[in-house]
Structure 1
Amino acid sequence: MAPERETTQGRERASAGSSAASRPPRTRLDQPRPPRRRVLPEWDPEAFGRLSERIARFLGTGRFIVWMTVVIILWVVWNIAAPGGMRFDTYPFIFLTLMLSLQASYAAPLILLAQNRQDDRDRVNLEQDRKQNERSIADTEYLTREIASLRIGLGEVATRDWIRSELQDMLKELEERRDGHRPEGGVFPADRPAGRDVPDR
């Protein structure tokens, strides 16, 4: 019985080893994946976007319109006035139409790409402005509450004018009392008669 168990265990180990060998190796997480081969060329979308914005900005200037008008006039004049062998685009100017169509077909997506980038920037700016406005409103509400609490606190504090008015009222009251029933020696030391003090006997 023991040899049979050993043989069955050996068979199980052999089958486990063969299945482990047939499995694909696990990818290690501590190492980067090897770069994949791509058929299409790679480009930097940020650099391409900046280039499209420059082109769209140039297409929207008067300089581009002037240069394009000059090129078209020279093109038409050359293909009308030049000798027959030197003309490269005769009268219906099919090649010129093709070039203008090609330029328009490239200019439209570039302008749309530039507009999309500008929309993204405007969206980010609007979000930042909204957050800044929320912070400003919160700060204003906090300052308003603080000022209200200070006003409430100052309403119970004696101010300088109030103390001055109270002192003036007390002085007036003391003067009225002194003038109304002044004693013989007076209230204040300055009201006493000058001379020697008479000792008490």
Structure 2
Amino acid sequence: MTEQHSLLARHAPKWFGRALDALDEPEKRALGHAKARTIASRDPNEAYAETMTFGERLADRVASFGGSWTFIIIFCLFLVLWAAANVWLLTRPFDPYPFIFLNLMLSMLAALQAPVIMMSQNRQSAKDRRNAELDYEVNLKAEIEIMALHEKLDALRTEHLAALIEKQNEQIRLLTALLERREGQAG
């Protein structure tokens, strides 16, 4: 057992009321950060970006563009041009009204875009859970640090109080000695 592990095992019941083995990983990490006096907060975006695959990054980009005003404006312009070309501009339209080919393309686009957006949303949910876990670790560490500060303040207060009592006892002893000397001189 390493020195760090034994230190954590000694403090786990004190701060969490459970043995070190009974703590979950965020609690162990928070306790480790508190005892080592290291920073527990991390950038969740960096931590999550390191684990992203190419497909996940692509899904995020597609969902980001597909949910933007740029996409909506470009798509609306495309639909207006398609309809104008097939109704007024072309003498032999390739997709006459009611635009069956356009409906097929729109259905295929929706069939592809929906799962990509859902993948991105699932990843965002996982990212949110990771953020919550990191926040939990930081909050635990802060609580441990606050409890440790309270202990230190209590110890200082006790030490200060003991010093005051000692000083008062010394003053009482001196006053008693003065009174005895005065009574001895008067009597």
Q: Same fold (TM over 0.5)?
A: yes
The aligned counterpart of 1:192 is none
Q: Give 2:89's aligned amino acid.
A: A
The aligned counterpart of 1:116 is 122
The aligned counterpart of 1:188 is none
Q: Encode CA deviations 1:71-97: one digit per residue, 9 max, x unaligned.
A: 000000000112433x11001100111
Give the distance between the partners of 1:62 and 1:103, measured in 2 at CA. Answer: 17
**Matching of residues 69-108 of structure 1 within 5 Å:** 69-85=76-92, 87-108=93-114
Give the distance between the partners of 1:80 and 1:121, measured in 2 at CA. Answer: 47
The aligned counterpart of 2:64 is 57
The aligned counterpart of 1:48 is 55
The aligned counterpart of 1:189 is none
Give the distance between the partners of 1:123 and 1:78, measured in 2 at CA. Answer: 48
Of 124, 142, 166, which aligns to 2:148?
Answer: 142
The aligned counterpart of 1:15 is none
**Matching of residues 1-201 of structure 1 within 5 Å:** 46-85=53-92, 87-158=93-164
- The Cα shift of 1:158 comes to 4.2
Q: Give 2:74's aligned amino acid.
A: W
Aligned residue for 1:91, secondary structure, equals coil
- Identity over aligned residues, as a percent? 34
Give the distance between the partners of 1:117 and 1:47, measured in 2 at CA. Answer: 13
The aligned counterpart of 2:34 is none
- Aligned residue pairs, count: 123
- The Cα shift of 1:98 comes to 0.7
Cα RMSD over matched residues? 2.5
Q: Under a length normalisation based on structure 1, what TM-score does the superposition of the two structures give?
A: 0.55
Q: Encode CA deviations 1:9-40: one digit per residue, 9 max, x unaligned.
A: xxxxxxxxxxxxxxxxxxxxxxxxxxxxxxxx
User: In 2 relative to 1, CA 123–84 (structure 1 residues): closer, same or farther, beyond 3 Å?
Assistant: same
Larger radius of gyration: 1
Long gaps (5+) in structure 1: 1-44, 182-201
Aligned residue for 1:156, secondary structure, equals helix
Give the distance between the partners of 2:80 and 2:157, measured in 1 at CA. Answer: 78
The ranges of structure 1 where at least 4 consecutive aligned residues each deviate by more than 2 angstroms after the TM superposition are 82-85
Long gaps (5+) in structure 2: 1-51
Give the distance between the partners of 1:126 and 1:58, measured in 2 at CA. Answer: 27
The aligned counterpart of 2:19 is none
